[in-house]
Structures are given as C-alpha cells and as structure tokens.
Amino acid sequence: MIRIKSIQHRLALFVLLPVAFLLVGMGVAGFIYARDSLLNQWREATTLKLQRAAHLVDMRLSRPKELLKMFHRIGNTLYADQVRGVVLRQLRRMPGVTRVGLTWKTPPPKASAQKAPMDMQQMMRGGMGAMMGSSPQVRKKMRENMGNMGHMMEMDIMPYRMADIVEFSLPHYDAAQKGEMLSLLSNIKNASGKIIGRLEIALRFDYLVKAVESTGWWRHHKALLVDNIGRVLAGNLPAKRGRLAEGGDPLEQRTMYGIMAMPYGTIFGRGFPPPRISSFYKLQEAPWTLVIIAPGREVLAPILHFRLHYYATGAAFVVVILLLIRLATRGTVRSIREVSQAAEKVAAGHYGISLPVKSNDEVGELIRSFNRMVVQLEERVRMKMALDLAKDLQRSLLPRDELHVAALDIAGKCLYCDETGGDYYDFFQFPELGPHKIGVAVGDVSGHGVAAALLMTTARALIRSSIIQTDDLSQAVSAANRLLCLDTGYQGDFMTLFLMTIDIQKGEIHWVRAGHDPAIVYRPSVDDFVVLDGKGIALGVDESHCFVENRYSGWEAGDILLISTDGLWETQNQHGERFGKERLRRVLQTSHGAAAGEIISAVTAAADRFRGNATLEDDLTLVVIKQKD
C-alpha cells in the first residue's frame, strides 16, 4: 500500500484526481460523440458519393435501355421498318456503343400501310377535316371507310410483345475492340410469346465506369464494382479479384450480406476505432453494386488527432497544476517543516525555541500557537517533574517493606488514581507503645492530587508525633485533630482515620475510628466476621471533639484483620455497579489460608476484574494483618 506523507503530494493527489477524472470523462464523452458524428457524416457523405457515381453509370445505361424499349414498342406499326432503322442508327451513334446487332429467326411481317404518304395520326386528322366539310352522304361514306381502315389497323399493329427483362453479360475482353466489352441482350417475341429475334448492344465497359473511376474516392480508397452475387466487375486493386470476400475477410463477408439485404448501407469493422469501414450502393439500371472500403483511422483521423491534442493539453494542464501547487505550498511546507523540526527539539528537552511569524494566515496562527504551546509545555514539564518528586516523596513516606513480627503477618498497598493522592497507611513500633504493641494507621484525605497529598503528609507527621507523646490513642488523635484544624479551618478539607494498636501478648486490639469505615475481622475457625466499629468524626472538622478508644479482645491465631479506604468497595464497573463489601468478604473467605501480601493481591485482582475497562476514580488503600498459627 502506497503511503503519501508529503502535504504537497497529498494536495496534488486530492486536487488532480477530480480534475483528472473530469478531463478523462469529458475527453471520453467528447471523443465518443465526435466519433459517432464523424462516422455518421462519413456514412452520409459516402452514401451520397456512391449514389452520385451510381447515377452516372445509370445515366449511361438508361439511354440505350430507353431506345431498346422504344424499339420494342414500335411493333408492326406504320413505318415500323423506318422507325426501327432510326432507333438502331441512334444506338450505334451513342457514346460507348461499339456494335448493335439485330437477328431474326423468321422475317417479320410487313405493315399493311407502310407505303402511305402520311402516318395514322395525319390520316385521322385529314379524314376528320374532310368529314367536316362534306355533305351528310359523303361524311357517312368516309366514316365507313375510316372504320374499315381502323379495323385493318387493329389487325396489323403490334404483332410483337415487349422483350424479356434486359440481360447483362459479364465484362469480357474483345480482341477486335481491344478492351473489355459488355453485352446488353433482349429477346424479341411475337404475340404468342415465341422468340423470333434478338437485339444485342455491345458497350465499352470502360465507358460505363469511367465516370466512377474519375472520382477521388475511387483513386484513394479500395473501390469495387460487383454484381449481385459478389463477382468483381471492376476495381482499383493492384491484384485482380474474382469475388468479394473470397479470402474470408469478415468485413467483406458482412458487406456481402448487406448487399443481399439492403439497397445501400455502411458496415463498420470490429474494434475501436474500427480498422476498416465499408459502404455500398446498388445501381438502378443494372444488377451491380458499388463498394468502397476505407481505413477507419483515416475516416476518424480528425477525432484521433483531436484526442492526441486533448490528452497532450490535459497532460500539460496537469503539469501546470503541479507547478502551481508546488509554488503555492512551498512556503507552507517550509514553515510546517520548521515547526516539525522545532517540535523534535522540544521533545528532546530544548524549550528555548521561538519561531518567527512570517504571515497572518493559518500557518502564521499555527506558529503563534506553537510558540505559546512551548512556553506552556515547559511549565507543565516543570510541574510534572515537581509532581513526580512529590509522588516519590509521598511513596517514600509509606512503609517500604512488610512489617515482620514474630506472631503477625502484616502487609499493605496503596493505589493512586492520580500521580499523588490523599490515602496513606503506616506501620510503627515505638518504645512509647510498649515492647509488645504494633501500631497501624490508615487514612483518607478528601479530594485527590497535590493538595490531598500535602494534607496527608501533615496529618501523618501529627499522628506520629502525638503517639510518641502518649500511649492513649484517644488523646493522641484528639491532639492531632486540634493541630490539623488550624490548617484546614479555611479550606474545609478533612481526613478520615483508623488508628489501632495490637497487643501481641494479650491478643487485644485498641482502636480509634475518626470518621473512617470500620475494620473487619474474619475468623476462619467459625467462618464469621467481626466489625470494629466505633464513634468519631473526621479529623480537621471540629478541634474540640474528643475521640473514644475502643477495644477488642477476641483476637486468635489464624484471624485476619482488614482495614481499607472506601475506594475499594466503592469501585464501579462500566454499568455503574459497586464492588461492595460482600464481594470483599467472599474474597477473604476463599483466600484466608494465604499470606497477608497474597490476600491483598487477591482482593485487588478481584476489584480490577470487576472494574473492567472503567477508570479508577478514587485512591485505594488496603492493609491486611494475619495472626500466625
């Protein structure tokens, strides 16, 4: 997969793709339209050329055919021999006619009145004039004579029937005429349909096709004159051809099918553009067809040249667009590259960088924002370093290792939702408490972050100093509360605390509960839970409050004591459900045989599974004390 990293390349791609699609689409649509238009124009123009050429040939054939029809219409009328002689003389004098032959199988009958000094119309006109100027008796006699003459004429006129359909012989070489000749044949029949003679007219073939051969398309394109079964009568090919499509040419075969089905038409070869195009037109006076075959590229030369120029122009246009994009984005790319290089230096820790603003556009605004970001980033990095230092300092205040006492297994863990937090736990073993006592404190400051961490650090110091001064837990907590209220009176911050001591020798637990959740004791021997409750408010709320010390003496071997902040059982999953104390108790029941550190790991793992992908919203502190067997 190609990845485009440069802005110039991406901009060029996004700009040129639509332009290229538009140009190509317009070019293809325009080419198809122009191609179809040119082909239609070529079809129409070629059809007109062939029609004109066919008309020239038809005109040269129509004159002898008309005289031939006149010869047949004469029949046995008055002066039939003289009129036939005139027709034959006119045929012999026609251009292109080399010979006119009339042969009779039997001599034709003579016309009964062929020696009369006038023709029938003149006699009729004269008879009618005489009748108008004579007496009734004379006019009656003349009508009788004219009637007898008309009856006689009906008996003598038209003893022959019209000739058969004119037949054309194929062009053949005549040695006497030294050229190709064409015979026009017609049979003469009598009234009963019997052939009594034949009239043959010999025409020079070159005279008929001379008008066609003089045209430009005959000289420049492949042109043929074929009969109705495809025999080639004339053509401009260098090699003599016998028939159209004799070599199996698909275009010529389709052209032959068209000749058989239509009077004229145009056939396109297969392909784009078609390699060849043929057009044909049938003659009216002869069973012949004119055929022209032209190369498709020559017909479509204008549009092919246009396509070449169009694509060349489009390519030049694309190059110009690329140059314009490069010119327009060069300054922007340079500025962005400078910002990128400066960002790499900032990432390496060099914050003394300020880029010059050279424009008022988006790039200039980007540079101004970058400069402000560098200043703020430097401040944030310093703050982050301070937070990391505070975090390290706060974690250093927590017990570093598990407290190992002969009869007890003690472990603790603190998880912060931010870099620093307000939860803490502490183990202490002071001489002031006595040789057999262990002190444990778990606290939870309201809020999170640096302020909570500072308050927690202060409260830890006050609690430790108070315990050293007296072994009475209630007095120690009350003293720490009075001092803490001096710092929290204006801010309204407070801290919950569970402070306890364990007398290992007596098996007694003494504690003060300052607004903190009660500790719980799980007794595996009887599968029972004991809640270490008691009265007391949070530290930092009321400096005059007197706290009460509580005592529990049922501490036995194998019992487990758990102290936690509310962040454990108030842990929520994605559905808003809380982990709760009941799930915590089930974990203690299933893991009571493990060491204190392993029990803490089992509890935190269960809380993590329950929370899933939800974020930790509160600090979580956990202390487990297990009396060894």
Per-residue pLDDT at 402: 63
> Computed from CA positions of residues 198, 204, 207, 209, in that sequence, does the dihedral angle turn out positive or negative?
positive
Residue 562 lies in a domain: yes
Per-residue pLDDT at 304: 64
Residue 121 lies in a domain: no
Q: Exposure pattern of 215-224 as b/e (b: 16+ CB <10 Å)? A: bebbeebbbb
Per-residue pLDDT at 146: 38
433 and 368 inside one domain? no
Task: Judge contact between 607 and 620, C-beta under 8 A.
Answer: yes
Report the C-alpha dihedral over residues 477, 470, 596, 561, rounded to 10 degrees.
-60
Task: Judge contact between 425 and 499, C-beta under 8 A.
Answer: no
Per-residue pLDDT at 510: 93
**CATH code for the domain of 477:** 3.60.40.10
Judged on CB neighbours under 10 Å (0-12, 13-18, 19+), 361 is exposed
Per-residue pLDDT at 2: 54
As a whole number of angstroms, the distance between CA 276 and CA 299 comes to 9
Of 478 and 217, which is predicted with more confidence?
A: 478
Tokens linked to 478: 């009350």
Bridge partners, residue 523, by sequence: 528
Confidence of residue 512 (pLDDT cuts 50, 70, 90): very high
As a whole number of angstroms, the distance between CA 233 and CA 217 comes to 18
User: Residue 327 belongs to what domain range?
Assistant: 303-387
Residue 37 lies in a domain: yes
Choosing from 387, 417, 442, the residue where a domain stops is: 387
Element (H, E) at 328: helix 301-347
Mean pLDDT for the stretch of residues 389-413? 74
Mean pLDDT for the stretch of residues 262-278? 81
- Domain count of the chain? 3
User: For helices 205-213 and 7-74, what crossing angle results, to 10°?
Assistant: 150
Confidence of residue 139 (pLDDT cuts 50, 70, 90): very low
Calculate the alpha carbon distances from 171 to 63, 215, 227, 555 in Å: 19, 21, 11, 138
Confidence of residue 94 (pLDDT cuts 50, 70, 90): confident
313 and 210 inside one domain? no
As a whole number of angstroms, the distance between CA 247 and CA 250 comes to 9
Percentage of residues of the chain with pLDDT beyond 90: 13
576 and 476 inside one domain? yes
What mean pLDDT value characterizes the chain? 77
The 10s digit of each residue's pLDDT in 189-246 is: 777 778 777 888 887 877 777 767 777 666 677 888 888 888 888 877 777 778 888 8
The 10s digit of each residue's pLDDT in 360-391 is: 777 788 888 888 888 888 787 777 777 677 66
The 10s digit of each residue's pLDDT in 493-505 is: 888 999 999 988 8
Least confident of 138-142, 613-617, 618-622: 138-142
Choosing from 299, 327, 349, the residue where a domain stops is: 299
Least confident of 94-103, 400-409, 425-434: 400-409
Per-residue pLDDT at 601: 92
Residue 516 lies in a domain: yes
The 10s digit of each residue's pLDDT in 153-192 is: 333 334 555 455 456 677 766 666 666 777 788 887 777 7
Choosing from 247, 267, 299, the residue where a domain stops is: 299
253 and 184 inside one domain? yes
Mean pLDDT for the stretch of residues 353-365? 79
| Among 558, 628, 554, 569, CA closest to 592 | 558
Of 304 and 553, which is predicted with more confidence?
A: 553
Percentage of residues of the chain with pLDDT beyond 70: 76
Mean pLDDT for the stretch of residues 341-345? 83
278 and 174 inside one domain? yes
Per-residue pLDDT at 156: 36
512 and 455 inside one domain? yes
Per-residue pLDDT at 300: 64
The 10s digit of each residue's pLDDT in 38-68 is: 677 767 777 777 788 788 888 888 888 888 7
Confidence of residue 108 (pLDDT cuts 50, 70, 90): low
Per-residue pLDDT at 383: 75
Calculate the alpha carbon distances from 70 to 53, 60, 86, 317 in Å: 26, 17, 11, 73
pTM score, two decimals? 0.47
The 10s digit of each residue's pLDDT in 538-597 is: 998 888 899 999 999 888 888 999 999 888 888 888 888 999 999 999 999 999 889 998
245 and 334 inside one domain? no
Per-residue pLDDT at 8: 60
43 and 168 inside one domain? yes
Least confident of 513-517, 556-560, 613-617: 613-617
Mean pLDDT for the stretch of residues 295-307? 67
Of 531 and 252, which is predicted with more confidence?
A: 531
605 and 531 inside one domain? yes
